[in-house]
Amino acid sequence: MNVRDRRVQYETAGLDRHDLDESPIQQWHAWYVDALEAGLPEPNAMAIASVDDDGLPDSRIVLARGVDDEGITFFGNYESAKGRQLDANPSASAVFPWLGLHRQVRVRGTVELLSSIESDAYFASRPRESQIGAWASPQSTVIDDRSELEQLVARFTAEFEGREVPRPSHWGGWLLVPETYEFWQGRPSRLHDRFRYRADLDGAWIIERLAP
């Protein structure tokens, strides 16, 4: 299949400075609502990149579970590749790829662990099968075959039968605390609109247009 010559013209209304909310969080929420209303799949999915011990970037999709003034929360296994990388180097960049609207939002910042109270609360809200899965999957490690995983699921299903599944200490949330956001809107002829928010020294957001 030839991907070289595939081109889509982005016939969108564009993005002007006066369209933007002064708060990047509010702007994110406005675009998230647009993504929901447009029926985009998994509109809270973001690709998040961290850096490994060799200084090499590594990225994967996770689901954002909260976006507010504190930052962006997501959950997973603290002993996974991303967990170890974020522990050693708590910096990350993320992108929400809202391709059906010819939009992306990029975020860069630092990452911290959520409190165990917050992680417990979110874990408790997950379906039981996902809770068992958090115990059963040694995420990002090599396993022999799928039956190994199924045996672990069976073992933890039996272990927790008849009672609540507690949150394993190796599973929880992170908070990405953004230092910059960038909102990108595709336009015809690759002359896209890009606006970056960066925090001023006193914490106010400065909004700048970037060349496409």
β-bridge mates for residue 203, sequence order: none
Residue 135: CB partners within 8 Å, gap ≥ 6? 152, 156, 160, 165, 168
- The catalytically annotated residue of 190, 196, 198, 209 is 190
Q: Which of residues 87-116 bind ligand FMN (CB under 6 A)?
A: none
Exactly one of 74, 98, 181, 197 binds ligand FMN (CB under 6 A); which one? 74
- The radius of gyration of the chain from alpha carbons, rounded to an integer in Å, stands at 20
Distance in angstroms (rounded) separating the CA atoms of residues 79 and 183: 32
For the segment 37-56, give every residue that binds ligand FMN (CB under 6 A). 42, 45
Minimum distance between the CB of residue 206 and ligand FMN, rounded to whole angstroms? 31
Report 112-141 residues binding ligand FMN (CB under 6 A): 139-140
Cβ proximity to ligand FMN: between 28 and 171 the closer is: 171
Q: How far is the CB of 57 from ligand FMN (least distance, A)?
A: 11
Centroid of chain to Cα 162 = 34
Minimum distance from CB of 164 to ligand FMN (Å)? 21
190 exposure class (CB count in 10 Å sphere: 0-12, 13-18, 19+):
exposed
Number of CB atoms found within 10 A of residue 201's CB: 6
- In terms of CB distance, is 61 or 143 closer to ligand FMN? 61
Sorted by sequence, the CB contacts under 8 Å of residue 82 that are 6+ apart come out as: 48, 50, 58, 60, 62, 76, 140
- Determine which residue in the list 32, 71, 72, 80 makes contact with ligand FMN, applying CB under 6 A: 80
Contact between 62 and ligand FMN per CB under 6 A: yes
Tokens 């059963």 found at: 136
Nearest residue to ligand FMN on Cβ basis: 76
Contact assessment for residue 45 and residue 61, using Cβ atoms and an 8 Å cutoff:
yes
Residue type, 90: P
Q: Does 81 contact ligand FMN by CB under 6 A?
A: yes
Considering the rule CB under 6 A, would residue 143 count as an interface residue with ligand FMN?
no
Q: Which is nearer to ligand FMN, 135 or 197 (CB)?
A: 135
190 as an active site residue: the answer is yes
> What is d(CA 183, CA 103) in angstroms, rounded to the nearest whole number?
7
Contact residues toward ligand FMN (CB under 6 A) are 42, 45, 58, 60-63, 74-76, 80-82, 139-140
The set of catalytic residues is: 190
